[in-house]
Structure 1
C-alpha cells in the first residue's frame, strides 16, 4: 500500500522532505498509529540498508546546487549523500526509538488536519490523505 508523507519543522519555510510516496506492506485499510510508525520505520531502514556502502575519495557528483544548499543549512544538517558509517541499521532499535520519540512528543503526526496524540488511535488509510510529520523543538532557556 502506498501512503503520502511530508516531513516539516516548525518555523521553517520549506519542508525538510517534500511530499513523497512510501510503500508499506499492509493489506487492511485501518491501522493503528503505532503499527503505521513501525511500518514506515521498517521501510526506511530497509531502504537505508539497501544503499551501497562504496567508499569515495571525493563527493563531487553529490555536491548540492546553490538553491538546495540553503534548504540544507536551514534544517541544520548538510549532507552530500555519502554514507560514512558502514554499519547497517537495526530495524527493532529504530522502531523502538521512533515510538519513544512519539511518546516523548519530539514529533507530531497529522493525517489531513487531524493530529494524533495516542499510539492506539486508528487511521483509515482508504481516505488516502497525506501524513505530515512535524519535528518539534524545545525553546532554550528556563523558567527561573
Structure 2
C-alpha cells in the first residue's frame, strides 16, 4: 500500500511540505506498527547509501556552479561511516514520541498514542512535526 509522509520542523522557513511516498507491506494496526515500519525502511535506505558511496567523489562544473548559487559547496559526504542499528533507531523514535519531541498527524488528525488504531487508505498522508525546545528558564 502506498502512503505519503511529510516533515516539518517548527521555526524553519520552508512553508511548503514535500510529500514523500513510502509503502507498507505488513498490515498496520497501530501507530507504533506504522512508525516501526517507516523507521526500519529509513535506516535500511541510509545504510544502503553508505555502501553505494563511491570512494572518489568529485563535482562536475555544473554541480559546482549550482552549489555556489546556494552558497554551500560540499561533496555529499557523510560524517559517520558506521552502519546504523535498526533496533537502536526504533528505540530512539519510540522514546522521542513518548517524550513528545514530535507530533504525528494522519490526514490532519493528531495521533496522541502509540496504541492508537489506524484506518489507513491508499495515498493517506502522515505529517511529522519536530518540536523544538524554547531557550530560557522554566520558572
Name the TM-score, length of structure 2 as normaliser.
0.80
1:89 and 2:87 aligned: no
Rg comparison, structure with higher value: 2
1:21 equivalent to 2:16? Answer: no
**Count of aligned pairs between the two proteins:** 134
Aligned mates of 1:39, 1:46 — CA distance in 2: 11
Q: What does residue 49 of structure 1 align with?
A: 47
C-alpha contact 1:24 1:39 (8 A) present in aligned 2: yes
Matched, 1:9 2:9: yes
Alignment-derived partner of residue 39 in structure 1: 37
Q: Give the direction of change, closer, same or farther, for the CA distance of 1:65–1:124 in structure 2 (3 Å limit).
A: farther
Alignment partner of 1:124: what SS? coil
Q: Who is 2:103 aligned against?
A: 108
Q: Distance in 1 between matches of 2:17 and 2:88?
A: 23
Q: Where does the alignment leave 5 or more consecutive residues of structure 1 unmatched?
A: none
Q: Distance between the aligned counterparts of 1:4 and 1:104, measured in 2? A: 24
**C-alpha root-mean-square deviation of aligned residues, in Å?**
2.8
